Amino acid sequence: MIRIIKITIAVIALLLIIIGIYMMINGSLEMYPTIEQQEKVNITGTAFVIVGVILGVIVKNH
């Protein structure tokens, strides 16, 4: 049971990292985004990557 939970959390961590990188590369998906929208998306993408890495490290070490 614990192994299934670890695998699930690892998959979620990987998805967070992928989505975060996607957000940082593509920026805002608005037709004509403002600078503020682009900055918010970059900050959110960075946060997703950081949380994904932290989750991955926690799963790997336990």
Contact 17, 51 (CB under 8 A): no
- pLDDT per residue, tens digit, the chain (62 aa), is 889 999 999 999 999 999 999 999 998 888 898 999 999 999 999 999 999 999 999 999 98
Model pLDDT, residue 39: 94
Model pLDDT, residue 28: 84
* pTM (predicted TM-score): 0.87
Model pLDDT, residue 4: 94
**Alpha carbon of residue 2 to chain centroid:** 23
Model pLDDT, residue 54: 97
**CA–CA gap between residue 35 and residue 18 (Å, rounded):** 23
Q: How many helices (H) and strands (E) does the chain have?
A: 2, 0
